């Protein structure tokens, strides 16, 4: 089992390195997009909406963006007005940018030239980088569980459970892609597959999901000292443990004692695809355009 365990661990660590590299690349891409977005927003405001503080410019701005409040001051005994002298042109441009970032409706030019960056930024933040983070959490939790399993004395684990773990590790060794194809989902506890299922095409996936449900799940079938070992505060696979009878499928008929709790992890959301394949982001992704990218607000 130790050889298979080492191979699986190495595969997991390689996948973690790949995910970390992909996440770093996505974050670098996000920084570039934010910079391009800032440049586009500043250029549009300076060239089209507020090139200067002349009264004609202010009137055109009010017509183009009627909801934007422009601070004005009266002159010539109230017969005319001008931009409030206490507000600089640069400050007014920043205020306009903040207003447009948070407005529900924006001019077509802003929507076209700045909104395209917003859509890409939103896709990176909410989907790509988030998926990297979720998968990294899943992989890291699996690595930690196997590193702890590596230290256990096999004699302290129920023999039947030990055989099941050996079988699951052997299948995962032969199917390294299962790291991505069969992510563990905490809300879906798995049962050990039948002998026919083990030797079927679905066998690797079923065994893989079962293995992680045992090592990481809070509602698992293992008992005895193995149960204590897989839980926080249980020491290195030894301790008070639980006791009980076993059914033919290896699940406990009764369980007494023990604390069968495990730390919460973020489950992977990828299905049949490595997250690393999600970059580059498509040029146009239709999402709501209310992000603002933190440029003015």
Instruction: Give yes or no: residues 12 and 62 share one domain.
Output: no
pLDDT band at 118 (very low <50, low <70, confident <90, very high): very high
* Cα distances (angstroms) measured from residue 136 to each of 21, 208, 231, 263, 282: 11, 17, 21, 16, 23
289 part of a folded domain = no
pLDDT band at 296 (very low <50, low <70, confident <90, very high): low
Paired tokens of 119:
């859509």
237 part of a folded domain = yes
Task: Record the pTM.
Answer: 0.66
Instruction: Give yes or no: residues 157 and 114 share one domain.
Output: no
Instruction: Give yes or no: residues 164 and 81 share one domain.
Output: no
148 part of a folded domain = yes
* Cα distances (angstroms) measured from residue 266 to each of 7, 103, 138, 141, 211: 24, 34, 6, 9, 17
Give the domain range for residue 190: 2-29+136-278
Each residue of 160-219: pLDDT tens digit? 989 999 999 998 888 888 777 777 776 666 789 898 888 888 888 888 889 988 888 755
Helix (H) or strand (E) holding 107: none
Instruction: Give yes or no: residues 252 and 164 share one domain.
Output: yes
| Strand intervals (E) in the chain | 72-75, 80-83
293 part of a folded domain = no
- Highest average pLDDT, of 36-45, 84-93, 232-241, comes from 36-45
Q: How many domains does the chain have?
A: 2
Instruction: Give yes or no: residues 158 and 192 share one domain.
Output: yes
Each residue of 239-274: pLDDT tens digit? 333 333 334 344 444 333 333 333 332 333 333 333
Q: DSSP character for 48? A: I
Q: Examine the pLDDT at 73 and tell me if it is beyond 70.
A: yes
Instruction: Give yes or no: residues 111 and 151 share one domain.
Output: no
Integer Cα distance of 55 and 83 in angstroms: 7
Work out the number of other CB atoms within 10 angstroms of the CB of residue 137: 16
288 part of a folded domain = no
Helix (H) or strand (E) holding 235: none
pLDDT band at 74 (very low <50, low <70, confident <90, very high): confident
Give me the long-range contacts of 148-153 (CB less than 8 A, separation at least 24).
148/229, 148/230, 148/236, 148/237, 149/5, 149/215, 149/237, 150/2, 150/5, 150/6, 150/9, 151/236, 151/237, 152/226, 152/229, 152/236, 152/237, 153/237, 153/238
Instruction: Give yes or no: residues 62 and 176 share one domain.
Output: no
What is the per-residue pLDDT for 7? Answer: 94
């Amino acid at each position: 089992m130790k050889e298979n365990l080492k191979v699986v661990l190495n595969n997991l660590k390689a996948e973690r390195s790949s995910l970390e590299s992909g996440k770093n690349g996505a974050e670098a891409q996000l920084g570039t997009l934010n910079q391009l977005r800032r440049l586009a927003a500043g250029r549009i405001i300076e060239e089209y909406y507020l090139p200067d503080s002349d009264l004609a410019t202010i009137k055109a701005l009010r017509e183009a963006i009627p909801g934007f409040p422009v601070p004005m001051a009266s002159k010539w005994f109230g017969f005319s007005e001008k931009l409030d002298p206490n507000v600089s042109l640069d400050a007014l441009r920043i205020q306009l940018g903040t207003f447009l970032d948070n407005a529900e409706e924006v001019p077509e030019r802003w929507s076209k030239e700045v909104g395209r960056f917003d859509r890409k930024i939103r896709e990176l933040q909410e989907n790509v980088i988030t998926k990297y983070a979720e998968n990294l959490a899943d992989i890291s939790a699996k690595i930690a569980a196997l590193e702890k399993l590596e230290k256990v004395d096999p004699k302290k684990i129920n023999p039947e459970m030990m055989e099941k773990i050996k079988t699951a590790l052997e299948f995962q060794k032969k199917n390294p892609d299962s790291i991505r194809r069969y992510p563990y989902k905490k809300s879906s506890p798995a049962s050990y597959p039948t002998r026919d299922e083990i030797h079927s095409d679905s066998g690797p996936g079923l065994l893989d999901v079962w293995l992680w449900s045992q090592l990481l799940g809070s509602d698992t079938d293992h008992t005895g000292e193995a149960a204590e070992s897989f839980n926080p505060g249980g020491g290195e696979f030894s301790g008070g443990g639980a006791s009980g009878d076993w059914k033919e499928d290896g699940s406990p008929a009764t369980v007494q004692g023990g604390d069968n709790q495990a730390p919460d992890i973020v489950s992977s959301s990828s299905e049949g695809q490595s997250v690393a394949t999600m970059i580059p982001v498509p040029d146009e992704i239709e999402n709501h355009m209310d992000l603002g990218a933190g440029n003015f607000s």
